């Protein structure tokens, strides 16, 4: 067990347990079980929370769901190794526990020194998981100064991958501006010798071959079209094939012969010289260029026992220093997608990349469960190409647009290849996102009760309960020809006086039976 964990008693009627597992591009997969005698323990040993992070551990009354039941939950606000557990015993109360998972000797205290545990966040609801979510969102929003309206983003990764040059990107810059994009983010491939994912991580200078005049011409083009400029970085790792690794093998965690993962090794940020090198490299970029946003990626586990605590605290210290020196620069936490989404790193970042998959069908469930903890304005959600990069699944544009709408929306697609009609629809969707942004990012999330294998209903209700926006999502073919009615959760009081279809939504499909009349009114 964690040597210094927080343990909280839970009433005996809480007999069902829900937490999360997952893997790359399929994060936050719920798993539910009955709480029997003994311990249900979840440990993460990745040096980051990981794609299989338990995330939130919930104990609730039998059959608790999104809209009903009492639920108790804990979350550890920490970006390193952790343990969450639940225990039922005949010798005492049922408990939920959480704490940092430390290797023997990982933290050594000299006389007079102290150790502070990560915060354990505990929450209770008498109104199911949605009640937890509402309280958590209120808490998370109270932790930080109000964010400016979340800008519509275009990220270049799935648009161009490593094919970067001013000539290649200028048409995309123009297309992004025409669509109404507010932040243009240059992803992986801009730095010295970075022609694929096997080299150059750690050499954080602009590639003179691809960018003979630096990034200034691109940034000026972006800024002249009233967009912010953002840049991708992966500062915690290094490629074996890099100038940095050849010059400083002593800075590599576990040494230069340590096992690679994704052709990467980890920089030991507890070494002052390595820490200073990374900090100075990033500061130099932020000083030279007009950069408003950093996508801070971290694509591998540490695989080095006993180093997680020092690496995590060094990361927090570096992020805090950058925020202090460059307070206007926003930072996104990305860890091969959603492998580092927690309330510990939230103190230092302004956005999370929810998952590496832009497949809208997979995103429906990933966003549904990630948003229990994190408000939607913190969760990046992008419209990808018609054929999803990771799954190969094809998706209708309206479905992709509607899925991205319920988050910090963006685009990850080469818009220059989109047909003119699609470009028009995207521009209309961007305008709708901007128009509904205050509601989407300030209201209360509501979700349909239970987990219908065929359909999901979710939405956002304004704080005054006078306005709401809902999505009714078909996950697969229905099981009946005549569809049953759905009651929208947390409906506006006294009925609906006006109901309009979103411009992002598809027009209702025609049915051969006269009994099918589309969406029912809310009750």
Mean pLDDT, the chain, whole residue set: 93
Residue-wise pLDDT tens digits, 478-511: 877 777 777 788 766 666 556 667 766 666 554 4
Band (1; pLDDT cuts 50, 70, 90): low
Is 135 a domain residue? yes
Per-residue tokens: 204: 């954080």
For the cut 50, the answer to whether the pLDDT of residue 523 exceeds it is no
Q: Which residues on neighbouring strands pair with residue 185, listed in sequence order? A: 155, 230
Residue-wise pLDDT tens digits, 242-285: 999 999 999 999 999 999 999 999 999 999 999 999 999 999 99
pLDDT at position 455 is 87
CA distance 96 to 1: 12
For the cut 50, the answer to whether the pLDDT of residue 514 exceeds it is no
Contact predicate 297/234, CB 8 Å: yes
**Range(s) of the domain holding residue 21:** 6-142
For the cut 90, the answer to whether the pLDDT of residue 76 exceeds it is yes
pLDDT at position 505 is 66
For the cut 80, the answer to whether the pLDDT of residue 214 exceeds it is yes
Q: What is the pLDDT averaged over residues 445-449?
A: 93
Give yes or no: 356 in active site: yes
pLDDT at position 311 is 98
pLDDT at position 518 is 36
CA distance 98 to 87: 12
Contact predicate 86/17, CB 8 Å: yes
For the cut 90, the answer to whether the pLDDT of residue 521 exceeds it is no
Is 10 a domain residue? yes
Q: What is the pLDDT averaged over residues 171-190?
A: 98
Among 114, 86, 287, smallest CA distance to 204 is for 287
Q: What is the pLDDT averaged over residues 49-75?
A: 97
- The one catalytic residue among 19, 130, 356, 414: 356
Give yes or no: 297 in active site: yes
- Tally of domains in the chain: 1
Q: What is the pLDDT averaged over residues 90-107?
A: 94
CATH number at residue 32: 2.70.98.60
> Tokens 């200078």 appear where?
205
- The one catalytic residue among 297, 342, 350, 414: 297
Residue-wise pLDDT tens digits, 143-158: 987 789 999 999 999 9
The pTM assigned to this predicted structure is 0.94
pLDDT at position 303 is 87
pLDDT at position 496 is 58
Q: What is the pLDDT averaged over residues 285-298?
A: 98
pLDDT at position 189 is 98
Is 89 a domain residue? yes
Contact predicate 202/237, CB 8 Å: yes
Per-residue tokens: 321: 């220093």
Q: What percent of the chain has pLDDT over 90?
A: 86
Residues across the chain: 523
CB proximity list for 330: less than 8 A, separation 6 or greater: 292, 293, 294, 350, 351
For the cut 80, the answer to whether the pLDDT of residue 452 exceeds it is no
Pairing state between β 408-411 and 379-383: parallel
Please, where are the H alpha helices in 298-419? 308-325, 360-370, 397-405
Is 407 a domain residue? no
Q: What is the pLDDT averaged over residues 187-197?
A: 97
pLDDT at position 436 is 96
Q: What is the pLDDT averaged over residues 204-213?
A: 97
For the cut 50, the answer to whether the pLDDT of residue 512 exceeds it is no
Is 50 a domain residue? yes
Band (522; pLDDT cuts 50, 70, 90): very low
For the cut 80, the answer to whether the pLDDT of residue 331 exceeds it is yes
Contact predicate 471/458, CB 8 Å: yes
Q: What is the pLDDT averaged over residues 4-14?
A: 95
CA distance 265 to 118: 27
Structure-derived torsion over alpha carbons of residues 333, 335, 337, 342, reported in degrees to the nearest 10: -60
Q: How far is CA 3 from CA 102, 309, 310, 382, 514, in A?
A: 8, 14, 17, 40, 64
């Amino acid at each position: 067990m964690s040597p210094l964990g927080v343990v909280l008693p839970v009433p005996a009627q809480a007999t069902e347990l829900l937490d999360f597992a997952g893997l790359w591009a399929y994060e936050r997969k719920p798993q539910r079980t009955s709480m029997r005698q003994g311990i249900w323990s979840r440990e993460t040993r990745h040096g980051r929370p990981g794609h299989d992070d338990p995330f939130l551990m919930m104990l609730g009354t039998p059959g608790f769901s999104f809209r009903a039941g009492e639920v108790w939950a804990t979350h550890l606000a920490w970006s390193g190794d952790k343990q969450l557990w639940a225990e039922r015993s005949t010798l005492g109360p049922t408990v939920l526990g959480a704490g940092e998972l430390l290797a023997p000797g990982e933290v050594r205290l000299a006389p007079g020194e102290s150790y502070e545990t990560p915060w354990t966040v505990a929450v209770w609801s008498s109104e199911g998981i949605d009640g937890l979510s509402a309280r958590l969102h209120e808490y998370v929003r109270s932790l930080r100064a109000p964010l400016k309206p979340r800008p519509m983003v275009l990220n270049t990764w799935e648009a161009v991958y490593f094919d970067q040059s001013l000539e290649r990107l200028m048409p995309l810059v123009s297309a992004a501006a025409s669509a109404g994009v507010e932040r243009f983010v240059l992803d992986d491939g801009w730095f010295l010798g970075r022609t694929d994912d096997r080299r150059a991580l750690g050499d954080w200078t602009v590639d003179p071959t691809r960018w003979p005049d630096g990034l200034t011409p691109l940034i000026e083009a972006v800024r002249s079209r009233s967009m912010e400029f953002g840049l991708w970085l992966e500062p915690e790792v290094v490629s074996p094939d890099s100038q940095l690794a050849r010059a400083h093998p002593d800075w590599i965690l576990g040494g230069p012969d340590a096992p690679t993962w994704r052709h990467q090794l980890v920089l030991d940020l507890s070494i002052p010289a390595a820490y200073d090198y990374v900090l100075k490299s990033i500061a130099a970029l932020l000083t030279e260029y007009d950069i408003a946003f950093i996508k801070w990626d971290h694509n591998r586990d540490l695989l080095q026992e006993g180093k997680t605590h020092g690496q995590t605290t060094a990361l927090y210290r570096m992020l805090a220093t950058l925020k202090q020196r460059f307070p206007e620069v926003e930072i996104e936490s990305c860890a091969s997608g959603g492998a580092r989404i927690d309330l510990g790193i939230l103190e230092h970042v302004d956005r999370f990349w929810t998952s590496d998959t832009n497949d809208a069908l997979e995103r429906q469930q990933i966003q549904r469960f990630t948003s229990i903890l994190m408000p939607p304005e913190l969760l990046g959600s992008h419209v990808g190409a018609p054929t999803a990069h990771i799954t190969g699944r094809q998706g209708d544009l309206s479905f992709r647009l509607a899925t991205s709408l319920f988050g910090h929306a963006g685009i990850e697609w080469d818009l220059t290849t989109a047909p003119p009609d699609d470009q028009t629809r995207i521009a209309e969707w961007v305008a709708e996102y901007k128009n509904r942004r205050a509601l989407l990012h300030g209201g209360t999330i509501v979700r349909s009760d239970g987990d219908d294998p065929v359909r999901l209903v979710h939405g956002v209700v304004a704080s005054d309960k006078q306005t709401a926006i809902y999505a009714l999502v078909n996950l697969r073919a229905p099981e009946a020809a005549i569809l049953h009615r759905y009651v929208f959760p947390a409906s506006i009081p006294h009925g609906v006086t006006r109901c309009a279809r979103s411009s992002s939504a598809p027009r209702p499909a025609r049915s051969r039976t006269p009994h099918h009349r589309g969406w029912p009114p809310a009750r």
